């Protein structure tokens, strides 16, 4: 019998030694307590097998109950931790107190009748055995053991059903060991009254926990990442407390910041000139309390330094600087930026070329339409130039709300204003004299038709605002401020601004230009007609910018006359 207990005590100690060899800092404290308590508990049955007096039997019993009182509780705490189920610290305290009270009554065996009413010794098969009479405390002890077992099983079942981040293998193994342990605890003495089978179960538990321990680190992603990073030396860490005292750094940090190599632990960095850069980073972090990032270039290397709080559990205790080599990242970004810059330049070049082709196409269509009209030679080019002069003057007054984009679109749209004449019959369009009322009505359709043509021509253009503006110019440049225009009889600000500007340019060119049915009008007469039309034909607000550019308009048309 003694050999049996001795064998399993030795195996138990060997398991604990293996655990000690493979121990890692991220192992749970409950693991360590299990591997500490099991060998201690296994000493009890061995002592009992060699006891010669009742006093020695009582001492061995007290040692044996050490595992019975605390081992299952510790295993329960570990099960909850493994299953990521948090136990309130007060509930933990209740279990510790209850088990401690029970063990206190066990320690009183031989002195007070709290756990056993009476104890005596008898000899059986040459061995001294302990006869005992139990108290209610012993029954309560069994209830406590059952509660701890039941809660452990419940936690394992809950984790199996609901926790995807808990290892199924670990749950299976723990369910198995818990079940064997509880059966051995309650039924072992009834099956084998003269032999303790708990030492065997304890050793089996240790073997299972060694298997779980070997994989625990693999499941702890934070720990494996930290260790991998540390081994590879990819990230450096340096820590300082709130008094700017150096707490330490890893080797990678000393490679990134060589000045750390000369620092002693507990040295203040406030008085060290070599640490001025680090102090400035910490000060910056203190000012805004947000994670601060600094990138530094060292030759062909780039390093990133990130400053944040150093935590001990949930409490911040100082500052931590994390350092990484971002050379490859920076080179990649530089390559991407160069590629994007080249691509952008190429896209802009091609876009500009496409826009030039579009402008040429539009101008070509407008010229083609104009060539059918005997009376308006050069009208498209001249009105476009007048629009440029007029809109530059309008933009001097910011109350119009016109920006450079509007100006660009307006100048680009001006040549399209008469595209609708393509739908007018040649016998009307090319008539040398004035139109009859019937002919004039047919001529008026060019405004609405122009809007349709512009819409089709610009259908594939991405600039939606330009398409709307160009269509408005073609459609509404014959509308009048007082509502007497065509084709829709719009009035006032119901007429789009671009159409109002185009109307002034269109009429002014018609007045000062020679047509087949009339001579050119003098600049003074043309100016007088335009001014008279302000508030009736034209937007009265355009009077001031028109007057401001009259001289430029006259100069322009004189140059045109000399060119002709």
Q: 364 and 491 share a domain?
A: yes
Q: Is residue 555 very low, low, confident or very high in pLDDT (cuts 50, 70, 90)?
A: very high
Helix, strand, or coil here: 518? Answer: strand
Q: What is the DSSP string of 307-366?
A: EEEEEETTEEEEEEEEEEE-HHHHHHHHHHHHHHHHHHHHHHHHHHHHHHHHHHHHHHHH
How large a percentage of the chain has pLDDT more than 70? 86
Question: What pLDDT shows up at residue 69?
Answer: 85
Q: 496 and 554 share a domain?
A: yes
Q: 500 and 372 share a domain?
A: yes
Of the residues 224, 243, 276, the one at which a domain ends: 224
Residues 236-292 have pLDDT tens digits of 889 999 999 999 888 888 888 888 888 888 888 888 888 888 888 888 888 877 766
Cis bond upstream, residue 487 (ω within 30): yes
Residues 472-493 have pLDDT tens digits of 999 999 999 999 999 999 999 9
**pLDDT exceeds cutoff 50 at 123:** yes
**pLDDT exceeds cutoff 50 at 471:** yes
Question: What pLDDT shows up at residue 416?
Answer: 87
CATH code of 189's domain = 1.20.1070
**Among candidate residues 177, 180, 151, the one with its CA nearest the CA of residue 83:** 151
Average pLDDT value for the chain? 83
**Among candidate residues 145, 156, 2, 179, the one with its CA nearest the CA of residue 74:** 145
Residues 533-552 have pLDDT tens digits of 999 999 999 999 999 999 99
Q: 260 and 405 share a domain?
A: no
Question: What pLDDT shows up at residue 227?
Answer: 53
Backbone φ and ψ for 245, nearest 5 degrees, come out as -95, 135
- Report CA-CA distances (Å) from 466 to 354, 446, 461, 501: 15, 20, 9, 15
Q: What is the C-alpha to C-alpha distance for residues 152 and 63, in angstroms, rounded to an integer?
A: 24
Q: How many helices (H) and strands (E) does the chain have?
A: 21, 7
Contact 180, 149 (CB under 8 A): no
In a domain? residue 341: no
Question: What pLDDT shows up at residue 8?
Answer: 84
In a domain? residue 421: yes
Q: 411 and 454 share a domain?
A: yes
Number of domains in the chain: 3
Q: 212 and 260 share a domain?
A: no
- Region 325-338: mean pLDDT is 74
CATH code of 493's domain = 1.10.3210.10
Q: 305 and 203 share a domain?
A: no
In a domain? residue 64: yes
**pLDDT exceeds cutoff 70 at 179:** yes
In a domain? residue 338: no
In a domain? residue 40: yes
Question: Beta 301-312 vs 315-325: how paired, if at all?
Answer: antiparallel
**Among candidate residues 456, 425, 419, the one with its CA nearest the CA of residue 442:** 425
Q: 199 and 250 share a domain?
A: no
The residue range of the domain holding 372 is 355-563
Contact 45, 62 (CB under 8 A): no
Q: 438 and 379 share a domain?
A: yes
Of the residues 169, 198, 224, the one at which a domain ends: 224
Question: What pLDDT shows up at residue 191?
Answer: 57
Instruction: Identify the residue whose tokens are 């070599």.
Output: 274
Of the residues 331, 363, 387, the one at which a domain ends: 331
The pTM of this model reads 0.47
Q: What is the C-alpha to C-alpha distance for residues 39 and 212, in angstroms, rounded to an integer?
A: 19
Q: 26 and 165 share a domain?
A: yes
Q: In sequence order, which residues have a C-beta less than 8 Å from that of residue 237 and are 6 or more positions away?
A: 249, 250, 252, 253, 320, 321, 322, 323
In a domain? residue 342: no
Q: 500 and 366 share a domain?
A: yes
Question: What pLDDT shows up at residue 391?
Answer: 94
In a domain? residue 345: no
The C-alpha angle with vertex 406 and arms to 402 and 412, in degrees rounded to 5, equals 145
Q: 482 and 506 share a domain?
A: yes
CATH code of 320's domain = 3.30.450.20
């Amino acid at each position: 019998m003694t050999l049996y207990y001795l064998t399993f005590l030795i195996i138990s100690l060997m398991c604990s030694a293996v655990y000690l060899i493979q121990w890692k800092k991220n192992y749970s404290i409950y693991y360590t307590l299990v591997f500490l308590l099991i060998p201690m508990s296994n000493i009890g049955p061995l002592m009992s097998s060699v006891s010669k007096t009742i006093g020695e039997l009582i001492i061995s019993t007290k040692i044996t109950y050490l595992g019975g009182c605390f081992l299952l509780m510790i295993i329960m705490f570990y099960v909850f931790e493994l299953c990521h189920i948090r136990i309130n610290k007060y509930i933990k305290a209740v279990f510790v107190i209850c088990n401690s009270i029970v063990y206190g009554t066990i320690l009183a065996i031989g002195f007070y009748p709290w756990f056993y009413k009476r104890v005596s010794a008898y000899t059986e098969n040459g061995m001294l055995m302990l006869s005992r009479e139990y108290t209610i405390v012993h029954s309560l002890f069994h209830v406590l053991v059952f509660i701890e077992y039941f809660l452990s099983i419940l936690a394992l079942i809950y984790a199996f059903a609901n926790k995807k981040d808990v290892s199924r293998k670990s749950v299976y193994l723990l369910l198995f060991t818990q079940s064997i342990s509880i059966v051995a605890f309650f039924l072992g003495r009834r099956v084998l009254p003269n032999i303790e089978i708990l030492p065997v179960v304890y050793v089996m538990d240790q073997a299972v926990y060694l298997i779980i321990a070997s994989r625990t680190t693999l499941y702890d992603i934070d720990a494996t990442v930290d260790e991998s990073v540390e081994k590879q030396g990819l990230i450096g860490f340096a820590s300082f407390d709130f008094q700017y005292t150096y707490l330490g750094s890893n080797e990678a940090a000393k490679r990134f910041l060589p000045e750390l190599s000369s620092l002693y632990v507990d040295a203040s960095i406030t008085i060290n000139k070599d640490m001025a850069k680090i102090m400035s980073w910490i000060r910056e972090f203190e000012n805004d309390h947000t994670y601060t990032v600094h990138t530094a270039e060292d030759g062909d290397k780039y390093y990133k330094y990130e400053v944040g709080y150093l935590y001990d559990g949930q409490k911040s205790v100082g500052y931590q600087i994390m350092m990484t080599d971002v050379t490859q990242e920076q080179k990649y970004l530089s390559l991407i930026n160069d590629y994007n810059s080249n691509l952008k330049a190429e896209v802009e070049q091609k876009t500009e070329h496409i826009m030039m082709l579009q402008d040429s196409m539009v101008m070509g269509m407008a010229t083609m339409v104009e060539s059918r009209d005997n009376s308006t030679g050069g009208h498209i080019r001249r009105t476009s130039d007048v629009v440029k002069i007029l809109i530059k003057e309008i933009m001097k007054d910011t109350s119009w709300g016109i920006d450079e984009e509007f100006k660009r679109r307006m100048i680009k749209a001006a040549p399209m204003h008469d595209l609708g004449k393509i739908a007018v019959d040649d016998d009307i369009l090319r008539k040398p004299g004035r139109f009859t009322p019937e002919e004039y009505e047919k001529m008026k359709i060019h405004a609405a038709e122009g809007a349709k043509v512009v819409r089709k021509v610009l259908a594939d253009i991405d600039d939606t605002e330009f398409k709307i503006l160009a269509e408005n110019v073609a459609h509404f440049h014959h509308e009048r401020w007082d509502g007497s225009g065509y084709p829709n009889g719009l009035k006032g600000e119901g007429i789009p601004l671009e159409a109002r500007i185009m109307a002034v340019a269109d009429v002014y060119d018609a007045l000062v230009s020679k047509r087949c049915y009339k001579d050119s009008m003098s600049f003074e007469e043309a100016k007088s007609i335009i001014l008279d039309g302000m508030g009736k034909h034209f937007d009265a607000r355009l009077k001031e910018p028109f007057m401001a550019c009259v001289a430029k308009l006259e100069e322009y048309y004189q140059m045109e006359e000399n060119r002709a």
